[in-house]
Amino acid sequence: MYVAVKGGEQAIARSLELLAEARRGDTAVPELELAQIREQLRLGVARVMQEGSLYDEELAALAIRQAAGDMLEAIFLLRAYRTTLPRFGYTQPLDTTAMRVRRRVSGTFKDIPGGQVLGPTYDYTQRLLEFDTTTPAVVKSAETPLPSNMPRVLDLLDAEALIERIDAGSDPEPMDLTREPLMFPADRATRLQNLARGDEGFLLSMAYSTQRGYAESHPFAGEIRMGEVDVVVCPEELGFAIEIGAVTLTECQMINQFHGGNGVPPQFTRGYGLSMGEGERKAMSMALVDRALRCDELAEPSYAPAQNQEFVLSHSDSVEASGFVQHLKLPHYVDFQAELSLLRTLAAQHATDTDEQPLSAAGGQRP
Amino acid sequence: MDTSPNLARAQWMSLLAQAEPAELAAAMDAFAPPADTAWLRPAQTGLYMLRGRVGGTGPQFNFGEITVTRCSVQAGGHIGHAWVRGSNPRHAELAALADAMLQDSAQHASLRMQVIEPLRRALDTRRDDASRKAASSKVEFFTVVRGE
């Protein structure tokens, strides 16, 4: 138990000054500009936006600078800032089918309508440090742009009825975890909101565990697409829908084996991942974990950590996890004094009891 | 659903929001705000919750929030509104002002020619450039038969 303490104001003030000095580093080196972070650390900005659950490149860049590059701290700063802003409403659902694609690959089909487009990716780099900073190559544009409408790869399987069909159904209003607490069992929409905000490292490990045998999902990356999607809102004052800008998104559609069950014939099933900016690792991890968490719905044996929604969803959030782990360093003086005095009493009793052997003498066996 | 005046207005409001703030500011430089300009709702930044769909086309889920700046202005006897992604108040103010002035039949044609059409061309060019750059990395994968 944490008990409030008084005092230390002076020391705290000095500590904040030390932090500010350490954050700035050598003042002979120019301070980072937000535009530099936004432009040259764009993948870090994307992660902070995604897990901070707020799409705003400027604010994310500011948070990264203030947190001295500690991404989890920057995510915390963004989460804290969003609570100061009014909520105007909900956007219309993002239409990722109409994405202006800049990257699109499939691990399942070689030839896909619209073609495979590599875009900016680290996949084919040699992972060798480049010591000489060179001016970037000028990209030689193709004569013709990509088709304006890239069909979804999974629709090819859908046409043969080999993959589960997905539609909006009655299009129910989804639960909003920023307004209501997480309750179990959580439906798929709620789980996806949780996973979208979830820590990339945690989801990556959970996803990896499913591939290594802790939940057999036999995944294939059906389609990964990255590009720009328009944001559409319909304000009450207007009564009609307008675009307010565009966001960069990465979407991953996993295809997973399914032997049939719960009245469903054998077919492929889907796992879904969506991430702000170029967040491919996050989107793929999210899709694998999304699929693993569908075990009950598909009547699959559930034994692995990644299939346990209470385990996954309760531990995915870095702000909560980091807060609870790190609160241990705050004063627990009263709590600890109580334990200390109990232990002293027990030790004293033990010393007077001559028959009892210490644990080490009894071969470490507890009674 | 949408009547056609609303459709035309939705299109120009979308375009004003999608424009680069600097391009919008430069285009609007030639148009002085009407004398009666009054800010009904000064630029205010808030949040919209972005919604996605499960599997891209399934039921909705709440994906994460986005900053949006809104603004309302009365100018030349018309009320202009703007909702613009991000937290740039000037972008929202100029978009709201342009929306009000575009509703004024006396100014509509010149605004369309000097603001809307250039912004549309700039947006189309940006999108075409990005798409042709991406298209340069289009690949053909060949399957190599095992055992050969």
pLDDT, one tens digit for every residue, chain A (367 residues)? 666 667 789 999 999 999 999 999 999 999 999 999 999 999 999 999 999 999 999 999 999 999 999 999 999 999 999 999 999 999 999 999 999 999 999 999 888 888 899 999 999 999 998 888 777 788 999 999 999 888 999 988 888 888 998 899 999 999 999 999 999 999 999 999 999 999 999 999 999 999 999 997 789 999 999 999 999 999 999 999 999 999 999 999 999 988 777 777 889 999 999 999 999 999 999 999 999 999 998 888 999 999 999 999 999 999 999 999 999 998 888 888 999 999 999 999 998 885 555 566 555 454 4
Return the pLDDT at A303.
94
For residue A213, the 8-state DSSP code is T
User: pLDDT tens for residues A9-66?
Assistant: 999 999 999 999 999 999 999 999 999 999 999 999 999 999 999 999 999 999 999 9
B118 burial class (0-12, 13-18, 19+ CB within 10 angstroms)? middle
Contact A50 B64 (CB under 8 A): yes
Which tens digits make up the pLDDT trace of B92-129?
Answer: 999 999 999 999 999 999 999 999 999 999 999 999 99
Record the pTM: 0.92
Chain A residues near residue B134 by CB distance under 8 angstroms: 101-103, 117, 119, 146, 227
Partner residue opposite B137 with nearest CB, options A53, A118, A189: A118
Chosen for mutation from A94, A242, A290 (greatest number of chain B CBs closer than 10 Å) is: A242
**Beta bridge partners of residue A250, listed in sequence order:** A226, A275
A222 near A313, Cβ under 8 Å? no
Q: Which string of DSSP letters, residue by residue, matches A77-103?
A: HHHHHHTTSPEEEEEEEP-GGG-EEEE
> Which residues of chain B have a CB within 8 Å of the CB of A197?
64
Best probe of the B interface among A88, A187, A248, A269, by most B CBs < 10 A, is A88
Please state, in angstroms and rounded to a whole number, the distance separating the CA atoms of residues B68 and A244.
8
- The ranges assigned to domains in chain B are 4-135
User: Which one of A91, A256, A290 makes the best mutation probe of the B interface by having the most chain B beta carbons within 10 Å?
Assistant: A91
Round the CA-based radius of gyration of chain B to a whole number and report it: 20
Choose among A117, A143, A190: nearest Cβ to B134.
Answer: A117
Average pLDDT for chain A:
92
Beta bridge partners of A89: B48
- Look at B57 and A97 and tell me if their CB atoms are within 8 Å: yes
ipTM of the complex, rounded to two decimals: 0.94
Q: Residues A268, A255: contact at Cβ < 8 Å?
A: yes
- Chain A, window 161-200: residues with a beta carbon less than 8 angstroms from a chain B beta carbon: 166-169, 171-178, 188-190, 192-193, 196-197
Residues 49-88 of A with CB under 8 A from B: 49-50, 53-56, 58-59, 82, 85-88
Interface of B with A in 81-120 (CB under 8 A): 81, 83-87
Residue B31: how many CB atoms within 10 A of its CB?
16
What does A120-152 look like in DSSP terms, one character per residue? S-STTS------S--PPPPP---SSPPPS----
**Cα end-to-end distance, chain B, whole Å:** 62
- Beta carbons within 8 Å of A284's beta carbon, 6+ residues apart: A207, A221, A224, A252, A254, A273
B22 touches chain A (CB under 8 A): no
- Is residue A254 within 8 Å of A270, Cβ to Cβ? yes
- Helix A188-197 with A42-52: angle, nearest 10 deg: 140
pLDDT at A367: 44
Pick the residue from chain A with its C-alpha nearest to B51: A93
DSSP line for A223-284: EEEEEEEEEEE--TTTSS-EEEEEEEEEEEEEEE----BTTBPS-BEEEEEEEESS-HHHHH
| 3-class secondary-structure state, position A296 | coil
**Nearest chain B Cα to A255, which residue?**
B55
Nearest residue on chain B to A164, judged by CA atoms? Answer: B55
- Among A87, A241, A272, select the one facing B55 at the smallest CB separation: A272
B77: helix, strand or coil: coil
Give the pairing of strands A87-93 and B38-53: parallel
| Among B52, B56, B60, beta carbon nearest to A152 | B56
Of A55, A86, A193, nearest to B62 by CB-CB distance is A193
Query: Rounded distance, CA A188 to CA A167, Å?
Result: 14
Give me the residue from A91, A115, A142 closest to B51, CB to CB.
Answer: A91
- The helix (H) or strand (E) run that includes residue A64 is helix A57-66
